[in-house]
Structure 1
Amino acid sequence: MYGAFWRILPGPWWIRLLIVLVIVAIVLYSLVTWVFPWVQELTNATDVTVGG
């Protein structure tokens, strides 16, 4: 799958690498901005099940 993705990207290897780095940065930014806060709302981390 990654090989096919690499082959469809345009340009020489350094432009492909730049494109991949930009895509990874966008995915990570999206995860931190929208997905992780949404998941945190669904899971209540303050509920402790271990007795103390």
Structure 2
Amino acid sequence: MYGWIWRHLPGNTWVRAGISVLLALAVVYVLFQYIFPWAEPLLPFNDVTVNGQ
């Protein structure tokens, strides 16, 4: 998958590296702004099973 993305990016190695960093930052932004808040109520992290403490 990464090879396919790398081959389809324009420019030389430095331009491709810069675009790759921007793409990675965009993915992280979308995850933190949209995907994680949507999925948070579905995750069992707040289900506490310890009693009496």
TM-score (norm 2): 0.79
Q: Is 1:47 equivalent to 2:40 in the alignment?
A: no
Q: Are residue 15 (structure 1) and residue 10 (structure 2) matched? A: no
Distance 2:32 2:19 in 1: 20
> Which deviates the most, 36-45 or 15-24?
36-45
Taking every aligned residue pair, what percent have the same amino acid on both sides?
44
Structure 2: unaligned runs, 5 residues or longer: none
Q: What are structure 1's unaligned runs of at least 5 residues?
A: none
Larger RCO of the pair (alpha carbons < 8 Å, separation 6+): 2
**1:44 Cα offset (Å):** 4.8
* Bigger mean CA offset, 24-33 vs 35-44: 35-44
Aligned length: 52
Deviation, 1:20, is 0.5
Q: CA distance change for structure 1 residues 3 and 43 in 2, over 3 Å: closer, same or farther?
A: closer
Once residues 6 and 47 of structure 1 are traced to their aligned partners in structure 2, the CA distance between those partners, rounded to angstroms, is: 42
Aligned mates of 1:2, 1:43 — CA distance in 2:
29
Q: Which 4+ runs in 1 deviate beyond 3 A?
A: none
